A and B are shown apart, each in its own frame.
Chain A
Amino acid sequence: MDTQQQQQQSPVQGAKVLMVGAGGIGCELLKTLALSGFHDIHIIDMDTIEVSNLNRQFLFRRSHVGLSKAKVARDAVLRFRPHINIRSYHANVKNPEFDVDFFKQFDVVLNGLDNLDARRHVNRLCLAADVPLVESGTTGFLGQVTVHVKGKTECYECQTKPTPKTYPVCTITSTPTKFVHCIVWAKDLLFAKLFGDKNQDNDLNVRANKAATTSKETDDVFERAEDEDIEQYGRKIYDHVFGYNIEAALANEETWKNRRRPRPIYSKEVLPESLTQKNGSAQNCSATDDDSTVSSMPLLGLKNPQELWGLTQNSLVFIEALKLFFAKRKKEIGHLTFDKDDQLAVEFVTAAANIRAESFGIPLHSLFEAKGIAGNIVHAVATTNAIVAGLIVIEAIKVLKKDADKYRMTYCLEHPSRKMLLMPVEPFEPNPSCYVCSKTPLVLEINTQKSKLRDLVDKIVKAKLGMNLPMIMHGASLLYEVGDDLDDIMVANYNANLEKSLSELPSPVINGSILTVEDLQQELSCKINVKHREEFDEEKEPEGMVLSGWTQSPALNGESASTSNNESASTSNNESAVDVTESSSGPEIASKKRRLSDNDKRETENVESEDDDLMEIENPITVSKKKRRVA
């Protein structure tokens, strides 16, 4: 054995490593670690195996569908490297058993995660435990690997993460211009209204038409009488959302001054008098169907999910899918949330989005495409995951050898930049204004008289700061905490506090107050300076509060769908795909390294927060603009 390899082997063999995630990157990583001589590998993953994983998560077979990824991956790798120690945990990395002490036993942590939330959590635990982290992500042919060593390089949260694509409410409810707007409407409004929790807030107009309003102000067309014929009910909904609501919107001339006017569509224009006679009824389909396989497509003679359906076909699918929900899945109505693996839900949402798109003159999409947008499905291929896993191991070995000068972040590009397909970049130093690793205070603008503590907990502490088990203090006064060990009186107190406005709390939080927010599991504590503000712009600041100096977390709903297609695949046709294609074709990289004093904000980059292989990609273009030095 040559000297180079000997040097590589010794720190490797003695190392204890933690892998978080046994999915697309995880399978490749576990294999490459084992081949590279790692002897002690622990792996956490809460997921079970699905069919759509099998094209790239090569340690899994069809017979493994439904089993723990971590466990099956372990067993598969032990088959070709039987004498190493691999320990699997079929669990959520955010579980309390994975605390700072758990993390401290490892020499390095390697992330192959699929969501920002878990990444931030692991980042904080690595900082608290002072264990180096190698972080990764892929989407399509793009990928990246970064190294985070406390005090030496920036932490995962030092850079502002991109704002997820969110759409103003009125774009979704009244003025859609893109297919994704129609999908969000169909999924988050219509589907939720029809099949989801009735008590949930919903911006869909449910009031019956004008004639009725004089008599019964509160008529909700979505209420279905016990004996109402399902098809009639379906047509009523159809006419209401695609016909009447559009007509009502058209009445507001101001809205359409500079916009294309939508066309109301009524069921009688597109559908025959009675579908039941024409197609036979939904009840004809096999009684053995389980929920996830119930489908309206066979009834309508539709086979190919990639085929584009016209208005009539979409309308038929709309009615048939709705009928099937009531005929076959009645018990679930009222509790359903959209799930990309729920065939009937995908059919319904595709049809509804397409009918709305037709109405607004937006190009229609196939079920396959609509499913990708609605389900935020990441584009994933085995090759990028394999490459990224190789890069992770190379960085992990440098970390174990404490070869700090050689740490690199590496980008996998789809189109070469300065001849490079794999582009190494020197890591940044920690950002002195990072609230996670540098404890810089945050500023919160909020209406302290109107906003409740609950709003602060939900919208800021959980959603934006990513805390799992938060505790909120104002001076010495404890306003709120979460935990198993609280007594009933405390819980009652905290619950009462949640419903109070900030200024009414036992220790009033007003302009100039400083709050301390802590997560004991993550060992993260931050200070929030409160600034009172009366008014917020409903469209631009829908949360009614503004936090500055933080790293943004993605919306966990379909609103971020449009950011999911950020590669130049033919199947994606939104503009973000084009951006990446164009811009990565020839950036120039300046040779100045960023210093601690160089505080200019780095641009935000694309983030994916997807179901599966997660991804988060930093757009390579920004690298060039930001004067990172290429190694």
Chain B
Amino acid sequence: MDGEELTAQETALYDRQIRVWGANAQRRLTKSHILVSGIKGTVTEFCKNIVLAGVGSVTLMDDNLVNEESLNANFLIPPDENAYRGKTVAEICCDSLKDFNPMVLVSVEKGDLSTRSTEFFEKFDVVVIGYGSLATKKAVNEKCRKLSKRVAFYTVDCRDSCGEIFVDLQDYKYTKKKLEEKVECELNFPSFQEAVSVPWKPIPRRTAKLYFAMRVIEVFEENEGRKHGECSLLDLPTVLEIKKKLCEANSVSESHIPDSLLERLITGTIEFPPVCAIVGGILAQEVIKAVSGKGEPLKNFFYYDAQDGKGVMEDISNSFTS
């Protein structure tokens, strides 16, 4: 691989992980640029992980002012009101992250992600949307797809003790180790829009219920104009109504999505830190894989639920219908 070699300092710092993914992967990591928006618990964990791993740069977007709630599940914000008053979440987290690894450039980008032009995303190799709205996720994903270079696109969302990751790597080639040989593989990812439009009926029944439940919540927040997590038990009737409509439209029975699961998702609005650590860890691993081109990536949804303890990958694409 071309490009300059790792410095002695980098080799010493990254020694243990170079033993996991090799020096070439480390070099690719140090040249990668990551855009992250929506900095709550899970994204905080993700940022810590990739900064430690030694990516080239991390750009943070989150203009929310720091308040009591943002301290929850976030170890990047010191709980000193004098220190955080008037600052945005991105600004405070940026200061802390810089400290984790001086070799990574961490910066803040102000403004609304969804209004950014397509060109804006060209600077990045990876875009991660945390806790985004349905419209934002669709729009940003489409912009990334319009670029001539491949921008790896991820969304992440945690509610109650559940988490969801979505991955779009477009047409993605990677090497896989099979016995002693390295095998070239290719995967074709659907866009976010395509993935969430897949008809439910042909999707195998053993597919994680969370996939369907998260779509219901997404539509609910979109229809009602709510921000992420802006809901309570009072909203349950409306949510169940949406579930009914979606199930009917997809010709599946309503038992497809347990009401109890929907209830958990709308009432568990405070993040559960262990789940943030788990989902933020998986997300970082996937980003590291995609940047380094090594290892089989997750395609294209991941679900974790602390209640049953399973972390499963679901491939939701039109392959069911074809």
0 or 1 for each of B290-322: is its CB under 8 Å from A? (1 = yes) = 000011101000101010111111100000000
Q: Which residues of B contact A188 (CB under 8 A)?
A: none
Whether A5 lies near B272 (C-beta < 8 A) is: yes
Is A365 among interface residues, defined by CB-CB distance under 8 A? no
Main SS class of interface, A: mixed
Contact stretch, chosen from A74-82, A149-157, A514-522: A74-82
Whether A55 lies near B19 (C-beta < 8 A) is: no
Is A2 among interface residues, defined by CB-CB distance under 8 A? yes
Whether A1 lies near B306 (C-beta < 8 A) is: no
Checking B20, B23, B24, B277 against A381 with a beta-carbon cut-off of 8 angstroms, the contacting residue is B20
Q: Which of B20, B49, B161, B295 has the most CB of A within 10 A?
A: B20
Report A402 CB to chain B, min CB distance, Å: 17
Q: Which residues of B contact A414 (CB under 8 A)?
A: 295
Report A376 CB to chain B, min CB distance, Å: 11
Number of residues from B at the complex interface, CB < 8 A: 73
0 or 1 for each of A418-451: is its CB under 8 Å from B? (1 = yes) = 0111111000000000000000000000000000
A55-B17 contact in complex given A387-B281, A570-B177, A571-B22, C-beta closer than 8 Å: yes
Whether A421 lies near B277 (C-beta < 8 A) is: no
Contact stretch, chosen from A14-22, A219-227, A244-252, A389-397: A389-397
Whether A420 lies near B278 (C-beta < 8 A) is: no
Whether A408 lies near B309 (C-beta < 8 A) is: yes
Q: Which of A5, A31, A567 has the most CB of B within 10 A?
A: A5
Q: Which residues of A contact B277 (CB under 8 A)?
A: 28, 31-32, 386-387, 389-390, 393
Q: Which of B264, B268, B277, B314 has the most CB of A within 10 A?
A: B277
A631-B308 contact in complex given A81-B79, A381-B16, A570-B177, C-beta closer than 8 Å: yes
Q: Which of B24, B49, B178, B298 has the most CB of A within 10 A?
A: B49
A390-B20 contact in complex given A58-B100, A383-B288, C-beta closer than 8 Å: no
Docked Cα-Cα span, A420 to B280, in Å, equals 17
Docked Cα-Cα span, A631 to B311, in Å, equals 12
Report A225 CB to chain B, min CB distance, Å: 39
Whether B268 lies near A4 (C-beta < 8 A) is: yes
Number of residues from A at the complex interface, CB < 8 A: 71
Whether A422 lies near B179 (C-beta < 8 A) is: no
Number of A-B contacts (CB under 8 A): 205
A32-B311 contact in complex given A378-B16, A571-B18, C-beta closer than 8 Å: no
Whether B313 lies near A582 (C-beta < 8 A) is: no
Is B180 among interface residues, defined by CB-CB distance under 8 A? yes
Is A255 among interface residues, defined by CB-CB distance under 8 A? no
Q: Which residues of A contact B18 (CB under 8 A)?
A: 368, 571
Whether A386 lies near B45 (C-beta < 8 A) is: yes
Is A52 among interface residues, defined by CB-CB distance under 8 A? yes
Docked Cα-Cα span, A56 to B160, in Å, equals 27
* Chain B, Cβ-Cβ closest to A389: B277
Docked Cα-Cα span, A408 to B314, in Å, equals 22
* Chain B, Cβ-Cβ closest to A415: B296
Whether B79 lies near A80 (C-beta < 8 A) is: yes
Whether A391 lies near B274 (C-beta < 8 A) is: yes
Is A416 among interface residues, defined by CB-CB distance under 8 A? yes
Checking A54, A306, A394 against B306 with a beta-carbon cut-off of 8 angstroms, the contacting residue is A394
Whether B20 lies near A379 (C-beta < 8 A) is: yes
Checking B54, B73, B179, B288 against A578 with a beta-carbon cut-off of 8 angstroms, the contacting residue is B179
Q: Which residues of A contact B199 (CB under 8 A)?
A: none
Whether B179 lies near A140 (C-beta < 8 A) is: no
Whether A140 lies near B20 (C-beta < 8 A) is: yes
Report B199 CB to chain A, min CB distance, Å: 20
Whether B264 lies near A4 (C-beta < 8 A) is: yes
A424-B310 contact in complex given A52-B12, A141-B285, A382-B52, C-beta closer than 8 Å: yes
Whether B309 lies near A422 (C-beta < 8 A) is: yes
Q: Which residues of B contact A3 (CB under 8 A)?
A: 267
Is B189 among interface residues, defined by CB-CB distance under 8 A? no
A422-B13 contact in complex given A32-B273, A80-B79, A578-B179, C-beta closer than 8 Å: no
0 or 1 for each of A488-504: is its CB under 8 Å from B? (1 = yes) = 00000000000000000
A422-B304 contact in complex given A4-B160, A55-B53, A391-B274, C-beta closer than 8 Å: yes
Docked Cα-Cα span, A567 to B49, in Å, equals 20
Q: Which residues of B contact A77 (CB under 8 A)?
A: 75
0 or 1 for each of B54-93: is its CB under 8 Å from A? (1 = yes) = 1000000000000000001111111100000000000000
Whether A52 lies near B16 (C-beta < 8 A) is: yes
Whether B12 lies near A582 (C-beta < 8 A) is: no
Whether A421 lies near B78 (C-beta < 8 A) is: no
Q: Which residues of A contact B161 (CB under 8 A)?
A: 4
Whether A377 lies near B267 (C-beta < 8 A) is: no
* Chain B, Cβ-Cβ closest to A392: B274
Is B15 among interface residues, defined by CB-CB distance under 8 A? yes
0 or 1 for each of A313-356: is its CB under 8 Å from B? (1 = yes) = 00000000000000000000000000000000000000000000
Is B196 among interface residues, defined by CB-CB distance under 8 A? no
Q: Which of B1-55 contact A (CB under 8 A)?
A: 5, 11-25, 41, 45, 48-49, 52-54
Whether A52 lies near B15 (C-beta < 8 A) is: yes
Whether B273 lies near A393 (C-beta < 8 A) is: yes
Whether A416 lies near B313 (C-beta < 8 A) is: yes
Whether B79 lies near A82 (C-beta < 8 A) is: yes
A419-B309 contact in complex given A380-B17, A382-B49, A571-B19, C-beta closer than 8 Å: no
Docked Cα-Cα span, A378 to B15, in Å, equals 10
A567-B20 contact in complex given A2-B267, A424-B309, C-beta closer than 8 Å: yes
Whether A569 lies near B19 (C-beta < 8 A) is: yes
Q: Which of B11, B17, B18, B24 has the most CB of A within 10 A?
A: B17
Whether B178 lies near A582 (C-beta < 8 A) is: yes
Whether B78 lies near A79 (C-beta < 8 A) is: yes
Is A612 among interface residues, defined by CB-CB distance under 8 A? yes
Q: Which of B17, B23, B274 has the most CB of A within 10 A?
A: B274
Q: Which residues of A contact B72 (CB under 8 A)?
A: 35
A56-B285 contact in complex given A382-B53, A387-B278, A391-B278, C-beta closer than 8 Å: no
Is B284 among interface residues, defined by CB-CB distance under 8 A? yes
Whether B19 lies near A383 (C-beta < 8 A) is: no
Whether A379 lies near B73 (C-beta < 8 A) is: no
Is A305 among interface residues, defined by CB-CB distance under 8 A? yes
Is A609 among interface residues, defined by CB-CB distance under 8 A? no
Q: Which of A572-631 contact B (CB under 8 A)?
A: 572, 578, 581-582, 612-613, 631
Q: Which residues of B contact A389 (CB under 8 A)?
A: 274, 277
Whether A419 lies near B49 (C-beta < 8 A) is: no
Whether B75 lies near A420 (C-beta < 8 A) is: no
Docked Cα-Cα span, A382 to B287, in Å, equals 13
Docked Cα-Cα span, A420 to B285, in Å, equals 15
Q: Which residues of B contact A115 (CB under 8 A)?
A: none
* Chain B, Cβ-Cβ closest to A5: B270
Q: Which residues of A contact B257 (CB under 8 A)?
A: none
Is B282 among interface residues, defined by CB-CB distance under 8 A? yes
**What are 17 of the A-B contact pairs (CB < 8 Å)?**
A2-B267, A4-B264, A5-B268, A5-B272, A51-B12, A55-B14, A381-B53, A386-B49, A393-B274, A393-B277, A410-B309, A416-B313, A420-B313, A569-B21, A570-B294, A571-B19, A578-B180
A34-B75, A571-B18, A578-B179 known, 13 other contacts, Cβ within 8 Å: A52-B13, A55-B15, A56-B52, A80-B78, A80-B79, A368-B18, A381-B53, A386-B280, A389-B277, A394-B275, A422-B310, A578-B177, A582-B179
Considering the complex of A and B, which 5 residue pairs feature the smallest CB-CB distances, nearest first? A422-B311, A424-B309, A390-B277, A35-B273, A387-B281
